[in-house]
């Protein structure tokens, strides 16, 4: 069975984006019951005579407009969202409920410690849980995203080496790393040594041995790597680094493959970040809130960002600011508190067994897809997959169909695309991460869609390279959309209120 998006698009059947017409209102105010004031007196020259071109629209029109727009989008609530490396899992509604509880949702960062003990206890409990899950000894919850966690972690490593008298110069990064890793190392002032992966997509240990010396501050390793492969020589990698006084940083964004099964702290990692918005259940994407706690070994404790959560002699929790060796603040206040609540709710709701089961299901789902799609798509690395599987478009490019085309066609079948063209070590990559959230039924629909597209690529490649066909808009200029986003309604730059119809091709609205 194949699910197809049924939304009918007819660009000529035009209701247009601009709906304003003079005199309409979406509100009704009671009569003024206080003395009227002269805005000029209150605001001087800043007082405005008129509001300029504001949309004038009725309540039902504005509700329909936004409700209709919301149905043009794809969401995890509509179906599978297999965007590899992003861990787009379902986020239980109960976590949202807990994060919005009055005492938590309304807590203010300037609230005195005395009346913040509950909120602080959440930070403490979450810190303990995350240290337990990662096998680490100390943690900061401050960083606001994964990449920000990397930045914080590498600054910690730098501060550690500096305290020994030499920050060192280089960071080693495998070619299978997430793009944020080299960016992080560069912004922290390091020279980047690129390490080529071996034929299994893993770190080439003998090559690494030649590269590590006492000018190397550390290595940044994504484990499982971006091709979804676990580094089987991780102990040897850690030993090689430690022998030369270098540190092992782990990009822990892929912890959805490890939680409850193995702990980075136990296999030699010194510093790592977690992506709470990936592994620990916060809705993300579209620039929503992130959280990238950094967990590390005890030697990094004195360098952690301030303020640091501490237990006072009377047993009360509070923040300690006086930490002379600290790298300083990396974010205002204490981090994204709502996400800490969600993460803790997620951890407690699952418990140790539930978290382990989650990991096993995520890995099983990825391997189910791998098994079913092997043959239809080329598998560049035969090494066992963890939580995600990476195919390439090599079989399809023979007919002129590329990974981006297959992804666009997938939209017609009612799925969010997988990650395209990443990781870079796989030319034409299709990176698929189903997460534990999906049932066998949904996975089968996805597999059917992918097989069907593989068939189309052979029999009717034009159909695939011109996809999507069933969406409101087709192939947009993604670069300009990212570089110069249009994020809000703007009136036309003309004196007169323009006629009702201003049709921008990308904003044509149909019913
Ligand atoms: C998502 C991801 C990051 C970056 O995380 P952000 O929160 O987007 O900054 C880094 N590394 C890997 C492997 C990732 O998957």
Query: What is the band of 502 on the pLDDT scale with cuts at 50, 70, 90?
Result: very low
pLDDT digits over 280-324, tens only? 988 887 667 899 999 999 999 999 999 999 999 999 999 999 999
Q: How far is Cα 201 from Cα 175, in angstroms, rounded to an integer? A: 9
Q: Is the CB of 341 under 6 A from ligand 1?
A: no
Task: For the chain, give the percent of residues with pLDDT over 90.
Answer: 75
CATH: 3.40.1440.10, 1.20.910.10, 3.10.580.10, 3.40.640.10. Which one for 93-105+112-348?
3.40.640.10
Question: Which range among 342-356, 399-413, 480-494 shows the weakest confidence by mean pLDDT?
Answer: 480-494
| Secondary structure string (H, E, C) spanning 361-417 | HHHHHHHHHHHHHECCEECCCCCCCCCCEEEECHHHHCCCCCHHHHHHHHHHCCCCC
Residue whose pair of structure tokens reads 């300083």 in the numeric block: 328
145 CA: nearest ligand 1 atom: 7
Report how far ligand 1's centroid is from the alpha carbon of 198 (Å): 23
Nearest Cα to Cα of residue 107 among 360, 380, 340:
340
Q: What is the residue with the minimal CA distance to atom 3 of ligand 1? A: 146
Task: For the chain, give the percent of residues with pLDDT over 70.
Answer: 92
Q: What is the residue with the minimal CA distance to atom 14 of ligand 1? A: 253
* Per-residue pLDDT at 479 exceeds 80: yes
Q: How far is Cα 340 from Cα 335, in angstroms, rounded to an integer? A: 8
Q: How far is Cα 54 from Cα 399, in angstroms, rounded to an integer? A: 51
Q: Is the CB of 275 under 6 A from ligand 1?
A: yes
Run of H or E residues at 310: strand 308-311
User: Is residue 376 a contact partner of residue 453, using CB atoms and an 8 Å limit?
Assistant: no
Tell me, rounded to whole angstroms, the distance of Cα 84 from its chain centroid: 10
pLDDT digits over 172-210, tens only? 999 988 989 999 999 999 999 999 999 888 999 999 999
Query: Hey, which of 84, 143, 147, 289 would you mutate to test ligand 1's pocket, going by the most ligand atoms within 8 Å of its Cβ?
Result: 147
User: Is residue 454 a contact partner of residue 376, using CB atoms and an 8 Å limit?
Assistant: yes
Q: Is the CB of 220 under 6 A from ligand 1?
A: no
222 CA: nearest ligand 1 atom: 13
Q: How far is Cα 436 from Cα 430, in angstroms, rounded to an integer? A: 19
Whole-model pTM over 0.85? yes
Q: What is the residue with the minimal CA distance to atom 4 of ligand 1? A: 146
* Per-residue pLDDT at 500 exceeds 50: no
Average per-residue pLDDT in the chain? 90
Residues 6+ apart with CB under 8 A from 383: 200, 201, 202, 227, 229
Report how far ligand 1's centroid is from the alpha carbon of 433 (Å): 14
Question: Which range among 56-65, 230-239, 389-398 shows the weakest confidence by mean pLDDT?
Answer: 56-65
Pair type for strands 317-320 and 170-174 = unpaired
Domain ranges across the chain: 2-73+486-510, 93-105+112-348
Q: Is the CB of 91 under 6 A from ligand 1?
A: no
pLDDT digits over 141-153, tens only? 999 999 999 999 9
């Amino acid at each position: 069975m194949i699910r197809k998006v049924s939304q009918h698009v007819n660009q000529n059947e035009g209701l247009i984006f601009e709906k304003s017409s003079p005199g309409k209102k979406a509100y009704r105010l009671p009569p003024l019951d206080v003395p009227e004031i002269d805005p000029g007196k209150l605001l001087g020259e800043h007082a405005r005579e008129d509001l300029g071109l504001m949309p004038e629209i009725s309540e039902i029109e504005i509700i329909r407009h936004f409700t209709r727009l919301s149905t043009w989008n794809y969401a995890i609530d509509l179906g599978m969202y297999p965007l590899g490396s992003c861990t787009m899992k379902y986020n239980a509604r109960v976590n949202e409920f807990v994060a919005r509880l009055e005492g938590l949702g309304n807590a203010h960062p300037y609230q005195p410690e005395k009346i913040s003990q509950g909120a602080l206890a959440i930070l403490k409990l979450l810190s303990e849980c995350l240290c337990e899950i990662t096998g680490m000894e100390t943690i900061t919850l401050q960083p606001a995203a994964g990449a920000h966690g990397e930045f914080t972690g590498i600054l910690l490593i730098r501060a550690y080496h500096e305290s020994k008298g030499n920050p060192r110069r280089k960071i080693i990064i495998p070619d299978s790393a997430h793009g944020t890793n080299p960016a992080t190392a560069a912004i922290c002032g390091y020279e980047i040594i690129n390490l080529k992966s071996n034929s299994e997509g893993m770190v080439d240990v003998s090559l690494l041995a030649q590269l590590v010396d006492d000018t190397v501050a550390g290595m940044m390793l994504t484990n499982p790597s971006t091709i979804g492969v676990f580094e089987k020589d991780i102990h040897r990698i850690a030993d090689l680094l430690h022998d030369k006084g270098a540190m092992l940083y782990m990009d822990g964004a892929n912890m959805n493959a490890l939680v409850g099964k193995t702990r980075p702290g136990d296999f030699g990692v010194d510093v790592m970040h977690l992506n709470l918005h990936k592994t620990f259940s916060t809705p993300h994407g579209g620039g929503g809130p992130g959280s990238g706690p950094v967990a590390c070994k005890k030697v990094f404790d004195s360098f952690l960002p301030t303020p640091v959560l501490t237990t006072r002699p009377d047993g009360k929790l509070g923040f300690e600011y006086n930490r002379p060796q600290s790298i300083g603040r990396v974010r205002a206040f204490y981090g994204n508190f709502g996400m800490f609540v969600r993460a803790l709710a997620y951890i407690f709701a699952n418990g140790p067994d539930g978290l382990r089961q989650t990991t096993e299901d995520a890995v099983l789902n990825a391997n189910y897809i791998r098994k079913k799609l092997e043959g239809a798509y080329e598998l560049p690395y035969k090494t066992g997959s963890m939580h995600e599987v990476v195919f390439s478009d090599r079989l399809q490019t023979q007919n002129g169909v590329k990974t981006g085309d297959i992804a666009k066609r997938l939209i017609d079948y009612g799925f969010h695309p997988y990650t395209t063209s990443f990781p870079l070590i796989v030319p034409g990559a299709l990176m698929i991460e189903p997460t534990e959230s999906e049932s066998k039924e949904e996975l089968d629909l996805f597999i059917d869609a992918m097989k069907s597209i593989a068939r189309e690529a052979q029999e009717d490649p034009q159909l695939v390279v011109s996809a999507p066909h069933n969406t409101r808009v087709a192939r947009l200029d993604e670069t300009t959309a990212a570089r110069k986003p249009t994020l809000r309604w703007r009136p036309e730059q003309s004196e007169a209120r323009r006629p009702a119809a201003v049709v921008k091709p990308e904003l044509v609205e149909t019913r």
